[in-house]
Structure 1
Amino acid sequence: MVKGIGSWLVKHSKVRPDRLALIYNERRFTYTEFNDRVNRLSNAFLSIGVRKGDRVNALLFNTNEMVEAMFACAKIGAIFVPINFRLSTDEVLYIVNDSRAYHFIYDARMKPLVDELRTKESCLLEYIHVGNNPGEDDSVYEDLIANASNEELDFDIRLEDVHMMMYTSGTTGKPKGAMLTHGNTQWNAINSIHSTPFDNSDITLSVAPLFHIGGMSVFTTPLLYKGGTVILDDTFDPTRLLQKINDERITCLFLVPVMWQALTSVPNFNSYDISSLRFAVSGGAPCPITVLEFFQERDIPFYEGFGLTETAPFVCILDKENTIRKNGSVGKEPIHTNVRIVDPFDRDVPPGKVGELIVNGPNVMAGYWNKPEATKEAIKNGWFYTGDLAKFDEEGFIYIVDRKKDMIITGGENVYPIEIEQVLYRHPNISEAAVLGYPDDQWGESIKAVIALKDSSQSLSVRDVEAFLDGKIAKFKIPKRVEVVDALPRNATGKILKIVLRQKV
């Protein structure tokens, strides 16, 4: 009997064999067809030497091959390692060598990078090519599937076995491989289904990158657990996305805030029929309040979630009933996850006080790959220390104040950039905003705002910003410097790279 998350496909192929599981462009796979391809790929992996516990690197886009490869690894106990396709060759090489992988699946569109990768020293033994024009010695993905048996495999796999390793974004240093188990992914799916109105008739569009935990496990894996339909798109274009909602009658959608913001900027937004959309979720970074208000005005139930790669990712979510009343909160924890907010001595802080958010539950990772010290620092007595500063209100709703490392101390006062950023987003000519500290001999740190404008022909000075913020936040929180840029640097998941901005302070 198939165990682990691979069992989902086996069950659905029996219970709802003709239900569409995956759609990518013109390719449409029922659960029976999806499971058949995964079985063939699992057997092909075994034939080329992939064994239980081996890491399999994947430089792929949001295509059916990405999801098939993840489940194929799961069925034989191998560990799937999706890699950010926007990384440089040296950054990809770091993950290849750190994960100690022997097998590397890549999309034809990444061939120039992969050809350069071949010239570097690594332990890779096999390249598997997806698409046309493979390398001379490469295995071809579709040939592997065509020539392999579709026999169902029965490996001894337990929920505590690692099935996927996702590398953290590395915004503060070298990426670390977060080891996610079958249980992590399954319990995350259960938490998601308990906290949002999922149904097996739902259809989602997965356009946030699947190499990121948000793209892979906010809707994609939970909906496949539930038996719904996942439409994959490897290109984010706001107009095209609205058209897909219109045409495919998409019912639920996860995007990161920068994507939601782009949707609100489509000039003819109201000409698309998005009435099929039953609910929407934002996560990955704080969502500008103006974006939340935009969708609330259009009667689209909007949930704001918070999670991390290390928690697979679900930590808490603000439900639609409280979106307006508790705007700015990320809600409460799901049924199978526990959270605390603690001071530096691990004592629970009272409501209204800021502390570090820590998480406990079956969705917390097994640890960081080959980094026992980092694991020991992050997980203590079963609790994962997120590095995020947060507070409870009197009703138990959680507010993420900021990253611990992003807090600014000016004149002895703690200042949380997110509070200032949310107010800046209300300025009619500010499209992006990031607030950070810089050294100040008198105050220890002073505050700087880096902004991008909606209309660059209308300048915005420090005095303009001061005038706009006056009366909205305390005077000591008002930035003393303002820098206008064309766009803020972001990583592939939409998070603003403050480490880059600090280098220019």
Structure 2
Amino acid sequence: MNLSSQLHETAKASTTKIAYHFMGKSSTYAELDGAITKFASGLEKLGVKQGDHIALLLGNSPHFVIGLYGALRLGATVIPVNPIYTADEIGYILNNGDVKVVVGLDLMIPLAEKVHTMLPKVSHYIICETEQNGLAQPGVEGLSVYPKMKSFTDVVASGELSFQGPELQDDDTAIILYTSGTTGKPKGAMLTHKNLYSNASDVGTYLKMNDDDRVITTLPMFHVFCLTVALNAPLLKGATLLIAPKFSPKDIFHLAKEYKATVFAGVPTMYNFLFQYPEGSPEDLSSLRLCISGGAAMPVALLENFEKKFDVLISEGYGLSEASPVTCFNPLDRPRKAGSIGPSIVNVENRVVNELGEEVPVGEVGELIVRGPNVMKGYYKMPEETEASIKDGWLHTGDMARMDEEGYFYIVDRKKDMIIVGGYNVYPREVEEVIYNHPDVVEVAVLGVPDLNQGEAVQAYVVSKRADLTEKEMISYCKEHLAKYKVPSSVVFLEELPKNTTGKILRRALKTQVAQTVGN
């Protein structure tokens, strides 16, 4: 069984069951399944074959769901991409990922025009029309990329309901998720049909999801947290998605109240905004049976204050792209431990080991490693990185953790130097690579600093050749080459960066400096 075939079975058994609500419109499982089948058929008519790579540059919408499941039904491999990435970032992923088809909003047309000459492997751009724009807008026909453009609506309309896709194997690559890498370039984690199905099924079972649930889907669908917990798992269990195109406290309270939502999944930043929203009423969230938090550690005070105000349980979990992503969750049938990521979910093993790979005693700190049907098959076109990450079937997370006597895990420290901005991972090296390209920069080091709204913010320490180089100029430069959440919120100019005797920059010394600055 796989995600697409299970959705087809659900549609046959519950034809009139509502699959999703989106901006005042609804779709039954039968209608959604039909659109998925026709999109898969339409792709085949465009020459897309099993194993081809299809990128989705989409926000939260039915287009994403149909595009994802339609491509999977055809046996294609899906590469979800953050649509707010810059042309450079998107271009790298599309090239490295050998993408043949790009599915995106019509707002992507100017971007496609800018980068399509650098993407010779892309044969089709499938455009999802919005009310503001469309393929028929004046001047689009004259663009040099126009011959490769197709309308999403037309592709679906060209498909046939009688289409039957190929037989999919458990080990076939279903999705490639690009994660920020410590080398400065993203790595593509290859997740198989078995990886995705097993994790969605196990998470849904663990969190007691069922066909009566109505799940608020406001986390970005291109992000693995949403993909499994707020999209695949609910659909696998026959639940209803309440799709929010973007996160807004006002909209979430309205959505929850109007449709009597039962499950909400978000990152700590979202919970903070909901808690602080002055017009947010506990009555609006009274139908919720469960809130799910991940992406970053939630402050215990926020967790407790939110639960007290809205009288709802928050279950914190842990995951990473390479594990599809969930490995741990606080249980619903046993005590929840604030500050913990919970015990291992069903069918997944977590261990804490030392540098020799030996399990450490209860309570001691070591590296968290994971094994299970959810662990990726490897990084795309990166055999050495794969071998370094997966050893004897165990995925080495790089996160430092400890386990208590009841099997609950606690993350002690995140991956070395990683910054989490509003639930998104930012690796300093990636930002440093961009800043180093500025002609006036001599040296740079990037760190995470506390931020009340986002949890952490990016801060850059720069040594410049020019005495008059300004913070505003540096930030403006970064905005041209980095996604918004990766751009430094502040830049500190120094005469030199602290180093050890070998010339290595001492990040700890900078962190101490940051801590002292915050303390003062």
Q: What's the TM-score bracket when you normalise by the shorter of the two chains?
A: 0.7 to 0.9
Aligned equivalent of 1:301, options 313, 327, 331: 313
SS in structure 1 opposite 2:284? coil
Instruction: Give 1:113 shift.
Output: 1.9
* Secondary structure of the corresponding residue to residue 218 of structure 1: helix
Contact 1:55-1:81 within 8 A present in 2 as well: yes
Report deviation, 1:319.
2.5
Select which of 26, 44, 64 maps to 1:28. 26
**Alpha-carbon deviation of 1:317?**
0.7
Q: How far apart, in 2, do the equivalents of 1:154 and 1:53 lie?
A: 12
Per-residue CA deviation, residues 36-77 of structure 1 (Å, 9 max, x unaligned), is 001100100100011111000111111111111111111111
Partner of 2:486: none
SS at match of 1:482: helix
- Identity, % of aligned pairs? 33
Alpha-carbon shift at residue 11 of structure 1 (Å): 0.7
Deviations 1:157-199 (A, max 9, x none): 1121111111113476211111111111111122112321211
Residue by residue over 1:324-378, the C-alpha shift from the partner in whole angstroms, topping out at 9 and shown as x without a partner, is: 6x21110100111011111000010111211110100000011111111111111
Q: Corresponding residue for 2:226? A: 215
CA contact (8 A) 2:498 2:510 kept: no
- Residue 310 of structure 1, aligned match among 322, 347, 351: 322
Matched position secondary structure for 1:303 = strand
User: 2:517 — aligned with what?
Assistant: 481
Contact 1:356 1:404 in 2 (8 A): no
Distance between the aligned counterparts of 1:68 and 1:433, measured in 2? 34
Contact 2:216 2:242 in 1 (8 A): yes
Q: Is the 8 A contact 1:93 1:122 kept in 2?
A: no
> Where does residue 71 of structure 1 map in the other structure?
69
Residues in 2 aligned to 1:343 and 1:205: alpha-carbon distance in whole angstroms: 39
> Which stretches of structure 1, 4 residues or longer, exceed 3 Å deviation after superposition?
169-172, 320-324, 429-450
- Which structure 1 residue ranges, 5 or more long, are not aligned? 408-423, 451-461, 463-478, 485-505
Query: How many Å separate the matches in 2 of 1:271 and 1:184?
Result: 37
Query: Within 2, Cα distance between the matches of 1:121 and 1:440?
Result: 41
Tell me which of 43, 46, 54 is aligned to 1:56. 54
Q: How far off its partner does 1:114 sit?
A: 2.2
Rounded Cα–Cα distance in structure 1 between residues aligned with 2:26 and 2:84: 27
In the aligned structure 2, how far is the partner of 1:171 from the partner of 1:233? 32
1:254 and 2:265 equivalent? yes
Aligned partner letter, 1:482: V
How many angstroms apart in 2 are the aligned matches of 1:169 and 1:94? 12
1:19 to 17, 20, 28: 17
The TM-score, its normalising length taken from structure 1, stands at 0.81
Contact 1:39–1:72 (Cα < 8 Å) also in 2: yes
Question: Which ranges in structure 2 are unaligned for 5 or more consecutive residues?
Answer: 142-146, 419-449, 462-496
Q: 1:359 matched to which residue of 2?
A: 370
| In 1, Cα distance between equivalents of 2:376 and 2:35 | 28
Q: Which SS does the other structure have where 1:405 is aligned?
A: coil
Q: What amino acid is the match of 1:155?
A: P
Task: Report the CA distance between 1:123 and its aligned residue.
Answer: 1.4
| Distance change >3 Å, CA 197–CA 447, structure 1 → 2 | farther
Classify 1:193/1:293 alpha carbon distance in 2 versus 1 (closer, same or farther; 3 Å): same
Deviates more, 1:382-391 or 1:266-275: 266-275
Superposition pairs for residues 312-327 of structure 1, below 5 Å?
312-320=324-332, 326-327=337-338
Q: What is the aligned partner in structure 1 of residue 473 from structure 2? A: none
Distance 1:119 1:483 in 2: 51
- 3-state secondary structure, aligned to 1:331: coil
Structure 2 residue matching 1:8: 3-state secondary structure = helix
Partner of 1:107: 105
Query: What is the deviation of 1:203?
Result: 0.6
Change in Cα spacing, 1:441 to 1:384, as seen in structure 2 (3 Å) is closer
Cα contact 1:170–1:176 (8 A) shared by 2: yes
Aligned residues: CA RMSD: 2.8
Q: Secondary structure at the match of 1:167?
A: strand
Summarize the Cα distance change of 1:302–1:320 in structure 2 as closer, same or farther, 3 Å threshold: farther
Distance 1:67 1:26 in 2: 17
C-alpha distance in structure 1 between counterparts of 2:60 and 2:119, whole Å = 28
Name the structure 2 match of 1:399: 410
In 2 relative to 1, CA 218–75 (structure 1 residues): closer, same or farther, beyond 3 Å? Answer: same
Aligned residues of 1:449 and 1:483 also touching (Cα < 8 A)? no
Relative to structure 1, the CA distance from residue 104 to residue 400 in structure 2 (aligned partners, 3 Å threshold; closer, same or farther) is same
Report the Cα offset of residue 321 of structure 1.
6.0
After TM superposition, give the deviation of residue 17 of structure 1 in Å: 0.7
The answer to whether the aligner puts 1:82 opposite 2:80 as a matched pair is yes
> How much has 1:81 moved relative to structure 2?
0.8
Q: Distance in 2 between matches of 1:121 and 1:227?
A: 39
Q: Which amino acid aligns with 1:237?
A: S
2:252 equivalent in structure 1:
241
